Structure 1
Amino acid sequence: MVFAAPNDALARAEGVLDADPSPLHASVAHQVIGIWQRDWGDMRIALYHLRRARDLAARAESADREADVLAALGVALVHAGRTQQGLAALERGVERGSGHTRARVLFRRAYARWVLGQHREALEDVRRAIPVLRQMDDVIWTARALTLRATVHLALGAVDRADADFTAAEALWDTTGQEHDKADAVESRGLAAFRSGDIPAALRLLDEAEERYAKLGTPTFMLNIRRCEVLMAAGLAPEALAEADAAIGVLDGIGGQSTRKAELLLAAARAARLAGDAHTAIARADMAVRLFAGQRRSWWETHARLVLIEARVAAGRSSGRLVADTAAVAERLASFGAPAAPEASLLAGRMALALGWRADAERHLRDAARSRHSGPPLARMTGWAAQALRARAAGSGRGVVEACRRGLDVLDAHRMTLGASELRARATAQGAELAALAQQASLDSGSPRRLLVWSERWRATALSTPPTRPPADPGLQSDLTAFREIAARAEEARSEDRPILTLEREQRRLEREIRARTLHLRGDAPGDGYRFDPGRLLERLGEDDVRLVELAVLDGRVQVLLCGQGRVRRYEAGLLADAETEAEHVQAGLRRLAHPGAEGRLAVVEAAGRCLEKLLLGPAAAHLGEGPVVIVPPARLHRVPWALLPSLRERVLSVSPSASSWLRARETEAPSGGRQVLVRGPGLATGGAEVPHLAWRYGGAVVLEHADARVPRVLEELDGAALAHIAAHGTFRADSPLFSSLRMADGPIVVHDFERLDRSPYRIILSCCDTARFASVGADELLGLVTALLPLGTAGVVACTAPVNDAAVVPLMLALHKGLSEGLSLAEALRDARAALPGDALHQATGWAFSAFGAA
């Protein structure tokens, strides 16, 4: 009963002890309390009760009862870090038990050995237990044994064997009322889905398991550990670190299992390293190593040592001793049959290369490269990365490029299993090293066209296909509606200076629900097989006499690829770090210029623009020709106001996340009918003063304002429109970019809402602050409002990269639409609109803050 209804079992056991039971019955009651405390409470209390249960079983002169208690006590001692005592108790239990009871003890010894990382010994014990349990028709314990065997198979990388055991166990669990065991089976299936590379299914199953545990009122430390692993693979390392640290706090608070604390520390160390916090990773990993060593858990200790070494390397440490230590870790992991062994070999090879130890590097990289043909996607990518480094060490540029291509193909296939645009974007971080190696090989080859191909190979790939959208998800729709209502109430309370803590807490809960639903979506598109064709790009550029400037970053320096007139030319510009610093100065200046009286800052901002041009375009600025220019910046430069640069100031200028995105936008056809939609949200300083003028200009446009500007109606009208103009307050959420929003009459319209459109407007103009702000994630990806629209059918967007003066926006927008009504493109109309503004600092800054994205 303790695993069917844990809290009820605890109460029943305490009731038995209150009734002056016999030694036999008292032994059972103390064992139940001990198991409850062992798995969900204080280990000291657990050990007290389990020892009492053992002593009472001896008084009852029941060898099988004593064997059963010894098994539970042995597991508790192992979890408490007293490994020798625990294994001794389990050994004594095997000796005392017979038949059916002995099989149950063998199962628990197998479990303890799995906890210790003794996987082969665990398989042997569970192999001996299962036939006896089946013969006795013991459904519950057979299902437990099959689940455990599957979990051990997963630890050894045998996913197919694990799947077979999980399937058999699930069929048995369906016939029982063991609710905690059922939740554990769902959790284990989540782990299996993750090991097979299905991250959305893993997240969905782990969330389902958490709901089941919550109904039982039991802590979920093993679930926390497994979810951290999945979150890290999904590119969500900061979230994994927060979850691990929170679980450690809870575990410490109840005096829980020492083994789980060590595993949580290891998860936290991995997450901190992936999140770029090397010092936190070192601290957590060092503590984990010491705990695992004290618990005599060699398998786990070796994994923790690998993370500790990785963190030290990330912190800038490198030495021959560290190479030797890493090689030793790789050898130990290989002896355990651990899937992490190639990762350690790759690290050893990478460090050996840096030290010039070519023979050692080749040996380690050869070992790592063996994983490139089998196993889960990330393991194969590790193998291809090792193969690319081997080729580079051998001086084979062709070998480097081929290995990088094969590795990125693996990641492409994996990425398309992800339905959420956020996960697709974050997954690209796994390919950053391969993309960088291929780009460097292309640069070394002296071919600008080849460098362009590889710059495009891993740039803005999340925008290549729309996110997966369920046909109709009433749960998601309900959550979005509730979120909107709560957010609107919170905004109203905030404006009236009323308490909003409860509302904010509910809003965060709904955000988590909405995000979870989207992360659970599996990709439904196999990919369009699109490969960037520079010839096709140059042909399209020639038709319009356009120059496309793609900025690639290698070793921290900007490489300018100037495309046009049938060729690709390369120029070297400045350091990316310097450009980022200068761009922040420009943003600060534009913020000041958005307020009257800051005219003195204009000269400073213009000087910063000249400096940015040298850093970002270098000599290429003198070779741009006279026609339109398309800028393709790296993600980290998304906030540069490109129209401020002197050589671009008077030009027809547009920005695109990639050359591929520009090509798709260029070839996107406008919808038939030419429907225009004008939206005016509440609370604007000017009241969206341009909208009535635009309604007059367009005549039959759909105008949504006041009570009509509600999210469901706005989405309905935007779907498939030829032109949309939205005047509304914009909010960028750096912490959760897909909740960046525009304020409507009934609350915020967020990126998740736009992702539900069948086709977003062909052209869309966002006349409010910060609508062109993005979060830079993955290898070179952007998450935000504008980038959500581009894969959904939008060919062109005008949006703002900085805070602007609302009053100064109105004449800019009117001039922009005048150009559009005369048949100009967005970029042409925006260029002319800037020129039509008054020449004062306020209006100039407003014009610079807006950019045209895409090609419409």
Structure 2
Amino acid sequence: MVFAAPNEALTQAREVLAADPSPLHASVAHQVIGIWQRDFGDTRLALTHLRRARDLAARADSADREADVLATLGVALVHTGRTRQGLAAFERGVARGTGHTRARVLYRRAYAWWVLGHHREALEDVRRAVPVLRQADDVIWTARALTLRATVHLALGAVERAEADFAAAEALWETTGQEHDKADSVESRGLAAFRSGDIPAALRLLDEAEERYAKLGTPTFMLNIRRCEVLMAAGLAPEALAEADAAIRALDGIGGQSTRKAELLLTAARAARLAGDARTATERAALAVRLFAGQRRTWWETHARLVLLEARYAAGRGSGRLVADAAAVAERLASFGAPAAPEASLLAGRTALSLGRRADAERHLAAAARSRHSGPPTARVTGWVAQALRARAAGSTRGVLEACRRGLDVLDDHRMTLGAPELRARATEHGAELAALAQRASLACGGPRRLLVWSERWRATALSAPPTRPPADPVLLSGLTAYREIAARAEEARREGRPVPALEREQRRLEREVRSRTLHMRGEAPGDGHRFDVGRLLRRLGDEVRLVELAVVDGRVHVLLCGQGRVRRFQAGLLAEAEREAEHVQAGLRRLAHPGAGARLPLVEAAGRRLQELLLGPVADRLGPGPVVVVPPGRLHRVPWALLPALRERVVSVSPSASSWLRARETAPPSGGRHVLVRGPGLVSEGAEVPELAARYGRPTVLEGDAARVPRVLRELDGAALAHIAAHGAFRADSPLFSSLRMADGPLIVHDFEHLARSPYRIILSCCDTARFASVGADELLGLVTALLPLGTAGVVACSVPVNDAAVVPLMVALHKGLAAGLSLAQALRDARAALPGDAVHRATGWAFSAFGAA
């Protein structure tokens, strides 16, 4: 009962003790309380009750009762870091127990061996226990033993054996009422799904397990660790770090198991390293090493040492000592059969290479490269990175490019198993080093075409394949509706000056629920974004259009000028300087949105000239007279390109990648030519352009007032030829897919657009911050515009900064006048800027809008 209904078991155990029980019954009651405290409470109290239970069992003269308590005590001692005492308790328990009881003791010692990282010993004890438990028809303990054996198999990389044992255990659990163990079984299946590379299934199963644990009221520290592992693999390292640190605080608050704290510290260290926080990674890993060493957990200590060494290397502390330490860790991990051994070999080889020790580097990198043909995707990528570094050290450009191609192909296959756009985008982080190695090799020994191919190979890949449509999930749809309602209520309360903390808490809860459901989606179609054809691009560009792709190699911007049947490369400035200048420009445009700030206009224009020199360099004079397509890296998508002097009078469009521009250019408009005009609430200008546009288009669909509600807006937008939305925009840097447009019934968020069968062919967003993005992964963008492009939108006009609402109206009217005359979005936007008054407010408003895509 202590696992099936822990709180009820605790209550009944206390009632037994209050009734002056016999030593035998008192022993059982104290053992139950000890188990509860060990797993869900204070381990110090657990030891007190379990020692009392042991003494009472001895008084009752029951050898099997004493053996059973000794096994429980052994687990508790190991979890508190008293490894020697715990193993001694197990020795006595095995000696005292007989038959069925002895098999249960062996199972629990196997669990302790697993906690300590002694996997071979764990498998041996389980091997001895399972036949006896089966013969005794002990379904619960047999299922526990099979679950444990599967978990050990996973630690050793034997996924198929683990899945077989998990399946057998789950079949047994279904015949019992052990709700805690059933939840543990679901959690274990989530771990197996993760080890086999199925991240959406892992997240779904771990969320289901958490719901089951919540009903039982039990802590979930092991589940926290496993979910953090999945989050890290999904590219969500900052979230994993926050969850691990929160779990550590909760564990400390109840005086919980020190073994679990050490594991959480190791998890936090890994997450911090992947998040680029070398200092935090070093601190957490160093403390984990000390705790594991004190607990005599060599397997775990070695893994923590690996993370510590990786954090030191990331902090720039590479040395001969680090090479030796990493090599020693690799050797020890290999002796354990740990799948992480290649990571340590890669670290040793990478460090040796940076020190010029070629022979040492080759030996260690060759060892790491052996993992490239088997194991989960991230392990194979480790192997291909090692192979690419070997080829670079040997001076083989072909070898580098082949290794990078093979490694990125592995990640492509993995990425397409992910259905959520966020996960697809963030997963590219695992290929960032391979992409960078290929770009360096192309720059050193290849022509501009090769550099263009590799610049495209891992740029905006989340947009390279059809998006996975969210399922007709009633829970997800009701969650979106509830989120919208709560967000609208919170916004109304803020306007009226009423307190909103409770509403904000509920909004955050619903946001987590919606996001969780979307992350469970599996990918549906294979990707082909890496099949980029330079010849096809050049044919589409023709002789008039120029495409300018900015490739960043080792912090320097290289400009690839495409057009007139060729690709040319030019060198521009440093990316870091361009980013700083872009921030100054953004700040200047925000100020110019307010009347009376006109004196700052010359400063903004000067910043635009500096930005042009950093980003375009000599290409500014080689663009020709025709249209220009700019393909910037993710970190530069907020640049107001129309502000740059060389682009100010041109037809300019922006695209996340050349591949994305090609697809937009080849997207056919829908039949029917429907026009949809939407006016949301609360605009200073009240969306004044909408009535005028309605008159221009004859009989468009106009949604305003109470008609501008999200469900109706989505129905009308689906498959429209042109949509114009005048509504307040809000960008969420912390959660970009919750960026929104305010409608009458609350926010229309990015996740809502994902339910469209086809988004509008052209869409104009005449509101602030709709062209803002979060740069994630290797070179990916998350935001409203990038959500629309894969859904069938060929062109978008949107704004990257807050603008003056009144000044937007004449810009939009002029823009639609150009569209009615048959111009493209980029052409119409260029002419609309020229038609505005010449004051600072209107000029800044025109610069703030960009045309995306190719319509």
Q: Which amino acid aligns with 1:313?
A: Y
1:530 positional shift? 5.6
1:466 positional shift? 3.6
SS at 2:682 equivalent = coil
1:32 positional shift? 0.5
The equivalent residue for 2:602 is 603
SS at 2:594 equivalent = coil
Checking the alignment, whether the CA contact within 8 Å between 2:458 and 2:530 is kept in structure 1 is no
Q: Deviations over 1:634-654 (max 9, x none)?
A: 000011000011111000000
1:467 positional shift? 3.0
The equivalent residue for 2:682 is 683
The equivalent residue for 1:73 is 73
1:583 positional shift? 0.2
1:474 positional shift? 1.1
| In structure 2, distance between residues paired with 1:467 and 1:44 | 52
| In structure 1, distance between residues paired with 2:146 and 2:330 | 30
Checking the alignment, whether the CA contact within 8 Å between 1:448 and 1:568 is kept in structure 2 is yes
| In structure 2, distance between residues paired with 1:128 and 1:572 | 68
1:446 positional shift? 3.3
SS at 2:56 equivalent = helix
The equivalent residue for 1:451 is 451
| In structure 2, distance between residues paired with 1:591 and 1:574 | 25
The equivalent residue for 1:818 is 817
1:613 positional shift? 0.6
Q: Deviations over 1:507-537 (max 9, x none)?
A: 0000000000000111111224760000000
Q: Deviations over 1:721-752 (max 9, x none)?
A: 00000000000000100000000000000000
| In structure 2, distance between residues paired with 1:129 and 1:529 | 52
SS at 1:469 equivalent = coil
1:193 positional shift? 0.4
Q: Deviations over 1:742-798 (max 9, x none)?
A: 000000000000011000000000001110000000000000000000000000000
Checking the alignment, whether the CA contact within 8 Å between 1:50 and 1:69 is kept in structure 2 is yes
The equivalent residue for 1:735 is 734
The equivalent residue for 1:268 is 268
What percentage of residue pairs aligned between the two structures are identical?
Answer: 85
Q: Deviations over 1:30-55 (max 9, x none)?
A: 00000010011000100000000100
Q: Which amino acid aligns with 2:533?
A: D
- Supply the RMSD in Å over aligned alpha carbons: 0.7
SS at 2:516 equivalent = helix
The equivalent residue for 1:834 is 833
The equivalent residue for 2:700 is 701
SS at 1:260 equivalent = helix
The equivalent residue for 1:126 is 126
Equivalence map 1:185-584=2 (5 Å): 185-528=185-528, 531-542=531-542, 545-584=544-583
Q: Deviations over 1:364-402 (max 9, x none)?
A: 000000000000000000000000000000000000000
Q: Which amino acid aligns with 1:258?
A: S
The equivalent residue for 1:53 is 53
SS at 1:21 equivalent = coil
| In structure 1, distance between residues paired with 2:156 and 2:530 | 36
The equivalent residue for 1:849 is 848
Equivalence map 1:581-730=2 (5 Å): 581-730=580-729
Q: Which stretch of structure 1 is more off in the superposition, 832-841 or 144-153?
A: 832-841
Q: Which amino acid aligns with 1:199?
A: I
1:278 positional shift? 1.0
Equivalence map 1:25-40=2 (5 Å): 25-40=25-40
- 1:4 equivalent to 2:4? Answer yes
| In structure 2, distance between residues paired with 1:255 and 1:467 | 46
Q: Which amino acid aligns with 1:33?
A: I
SS at 2:209 equivalent = helix
1:317 positional shift? 1.1
1:208 positional shift? 0.4
Q: Which amino acid aligns with 2:36?
A: W
| In structure 2, distance between residues paired with 1:458 and 1:529 | 9
Q: Deviations over 1:574-626 (max 9, x none)?
A: 00000000000000100110011111111001111110111000111111111
Q: Deviations over 1:16-40 (max 9, x none)?
A: 1111111111111100000010011
| In structure 2, distance between residues paired with 1:64 and 1:475 | 50
| In structure 2, distance between residues paired with 1:68 and 1:18 | 23
| In structure 2, distance between residues paired with 1:803 and 1:273 | 35
| In structure 1, distance between residues paired with 2:121 and 2:404 | 39
| In structure 2, distance between residues paired with 1:476 and 1:138 | 41
SS at 1:797 equivalent = strand
The equivalent residue for 1:770 is 769
Checking the alignment, whether the CA contact within 8 Å between 1:146 and 1:169 is kept in structure 2 is yes
Q: Which amino acid aligns with 1:329?
A: V
SS at 2:681 equivalent = coil
Q: Which amino acid aligns with 2:300?
A: W
Q: Deviations over 1:256-301 (max 9, x none)?
A: 0000000000111111111111111111111100000000000000
| In structure 1, distance between residues paired with 2:274 and 2:471 | 35
Q: Which amino acid aligns with 2:735?
A: S
Checking the alignment, whether the CA contact within 8 Å between 1:817 and 1:829 is kept in structure 2 is yes
SS at 1:733 equivalent = coil
| In structure 1, distance between residues paired with 2:399 and 2:237 | 32
Equivalence map 1:742-757=2 (5 Å): 742-757=741-756
Checking the alignment, whether the CA contact within 8 Å between 1:435 and 1:454 is kept in structure 2 is yes
| In structure 2, distance between residues paired with 1:495 and 1:114 | 56
| In structure 1, distance between residues paired with 2:477 and 2:848 | 34
| In structure 1, distance between residues paired with 2:321 and 2:237 | 29
Checking the alignment, whether the CA contact within 8 Å between 1:421 and 1:466 is kept in structure 2 is no
| In structure 1, distance between residues paired with 2:355 and 2:682 | 61
The equivalent residue for 1:170 is 170
1:471 positional shift? 4.0
SS at 1:227 equivalent = helix
Checking the alignment, whether the CA contact within 8 Å between 2:476 and 2:517 is kept in structure 1 is yes
| In structure 2, distance between residues paired with 1:127 and 1:99 | 14
SS at 1:603 equivalent = helix
SS at 2:265 equivalent = helix
Checking the alignment, whether the CA contact within 8 Å between 1:70 and 1:93 is kept in structure 2 is yes
Q: Deviations over 1:442-464 (max 9, x none)?
A: 11113100000000000000011
Q: Which amino acid aligns with 1:233?
A: A
| In structure 2, distance between residues paired with 1:497 and 1:239 | 32
Checking the alignment, whether the CA contact within 8 Å between 1:448 and 1:561 is kept in structure 2 is yes
SS at 1:559 equivalent = strand
The equivalent residue for 1:143 is 143
Checking the alignment, whether the CA contact within 8 Å between 1:456 and 1:660 is kept in structure 2 is yes
| In structure 2, distance between residues paired with 1:513 and 1:466 | 25
| In structure 1, distance between residues paired with 2:584 and 2:239 | 31
Q: Which amino acid aligns with 1:396?
A: S
| In structure 2, distance between residues paired with 1:448 and 1:528 | 22
Q: Which amino acid aligns with 2:150?
A: A
Q: Which amino acid aligns with 2:725?
A: I
The equivalent residue for 1:787 is 786
| In structure 2, distance between residues paired with 1:497 and 1:278 | 43
| In structure 1, distance between residues paired with 2:316 and 2:364 | 21
| In structure 2, distance between residues paired with 1:376 and 1:325 | 26
Checking the alignment, whether the CA contact within 8 Å between 2:420 and 2:518 is kept in structure 1 is yes
Checking the alignment, whether the CA contact within 8 Å between 2:464 and 2:529 is kept in structure 1 is no
1:174 positional shift? 0.4
Q: Which amino acid aligns with 2:763?
A: I
